[in-house]
Amino acid sequence: MARELMHFINGERVSGDSGRFGDVYNPNTGEVQAKVPLANAQEMRKAVEAALSAFGAWSAMNPQRRARVMFRFKDLLEQNIDELAHMLSAEHGKVVADSKGDIQRGLEVIEFACGIPHLLKGEFTEGAGPGIDIYSMRQPLGVVAGITPFNFPAMIPMWMFGVAIACGNTFICKPSEKDPSVPLRLAELFMEAGAPAGVLNVVNGDKQAVDAILTDPDIKAVSFVGSSDIAQYVFAQGTAHGKRVQAMGGAKNHGIVMPDADMEQVVNDFLGSAYGSAGERCMALPVAVPVGDETADRLIEALTPRIKNLKVGISTDAEAQYGPVVSAAHLDKIKNYVAKGVEEGAELLIDGRDFSMQGFENGFFMGPCLFDRVTTDMVTYEQEIFGPVLQIVRAKDFEEALRLPSEHQYGNGVAIFTRDGDTAREFASRVNVGMVGINVPIPVPLAYHTFGGWKRSAFGDVNQHGPEGVRFYTKIKTVTSRWPQGQREDASFVIPTMK
């Protein structure tokens, strides 16, 4: 019998009241392993009230004491990483080693948040005018929320709540209903680290919960990661209700392969970046752009046998290179995209649609696929497939290769593979994409930098984590002060210039 999950509100797990539940599957077997409650607006409001109640004391706590909670939380993450990784793999399907990477990249943002006192310092100008000083301070917003996707159920919640809470805000996380157990466990560990009740809440749900977040007047900011259409909706609705919003959307990242690239390294990089985590990454590299037919032919010749030898397995198989996708519906969506690519005239060199895992025939497994001669007018090129499918788009020269990612609707990440520094420098300078890798296939910045794409990959002006995250979760207050020195001035009716 499937177990029933709960919400985490005001420091404890609580049952759902809405009467609505979603299924949480084991992607390896296709079986329902849990029921997750889907919150209504009233349940979301309980979490908001808990966060409001906790905000006063938490925001008044000095920054280094909040940072100590982050230090203890970091230690608990490291102590419990095996438990968390297996929990994550059981609901998402990614192999355990990849799940540990998911947790590690979130943990790195928690490490960054441990140094938050330095980043919360304001500015000071002495003697801006006669006896006048000006100083600024960064203050938390209040209750903030994060709406997180299924593909990184540990990393992305920590990207959001780590910085937000360290800055003095209280937080409500609405995780994906497909794999909610890890965020719930993170909230418990955060309490164990010393956070007061109500500082971090986890409310499960679907669109009802999302809309409750977007319309609640006491939620001051919303961070979102998901598909571009929903990101645009979240941004429009959230800003219409007076909130700060950062909404990260989809991607179609290109890997430009110059004729002088190290082909062996290129093949290794594409294998990991296109097929790792079954392609369910917004920073995956699903489009290869070899420059020149000779480069394309060499790339295909080197890639083909390696792709055919990829090991697909259950998520606990230590030798598997990737596991199942997250759901039956998503598996069907990927297969439909592959069929559409064939219909559009692309050459399907490797077809993984008929893959079946012996002993796990009902699992959501998809073999690797490889397309050649994909063109820019194809739907499968324009849209994000989000599966283990690599498409090859041939470019005749550098300028065409530069235009492809620059003109695509998405602008999350891009990579170029070359030995020529001048080519790499020009590409990085000119390409119309937010994150660039030079001989780095997945250019996700480290925690003390910032993550964010361009175009339909991101809505809003401020990126995630790093200094940008601190700016997003705080507001600036500027104080101009003067202390009386015994001589009063006459009334002035013009704007002061502080000459």
Residues forming the active site: 282
Phi, psi of 95 (to 5 degrees): -65, 155
* Closest of 40, 37, 41, 42 to residue 8, by C-alpha: 37
* Contact predicate 349/371, CB 8 Å: yes
Residues ≥6 apart with Cβ < 8 Å to 21: 4, 35, 36, 37, 38
Name the burial class of residue 246, with classes exposed (0-12), middle (13-18) and buried (19+) by CB atoms within 10 angstroms of its CB: buried
Q: CA–CA separation, 430 vs 395, rounded Å?
A: 17
Q: Which residues pair with 415 in a beta bridge?
A: 255, 437
Helix (H, G, I), strand (E, B) or coil at 294: helix
Q: Which residues pair with 350 in a beta bridge?
A: 370
Q: CA–CA separation, 334 vs 384, rounded Å?
A: 10
Long-range contacts from 276-279, C-beta under 8 angstroms, 24+ separation: 276/98, 276/321, 276/322, 277/94, 277/98, 277/151, 277/322, 278/93, 278/94, 278/322, 278/323, 278/324, 278/325, 278/366, 278/387, 278/388, 279/385, 279/386, 279/387, 279/388, 279/389
Residues ≥6 apart with Cβ < 8 Å to 411: 405, 432, 433, 434, 453, 454, 455, 456, 457, 458
* Contact predicate 283/275, CB 8 Å: no
Q: CA–CA separation, 456 vs 229, rounded Å?
A: 9
Residue 168: other Cβ atoms inside 10 A? 24
Burial of 380-399, coded b for 16+ CB within 10 Å and e otherwise, reads bbeebbbbbbbbbbbbeebe
* Contact predicate 382/287, CB 8 Å: no
The token pair that represents 13 in the structure block: 């797990």
Find the helix or strand (DSSP H, E) in which 255 lies.
strand 254-257
Residues ≥6 apart with Cβ < 8 Å to 309: none
* Closest of 7, 94, 76, 79 to residue 48, by C-alpha: 7
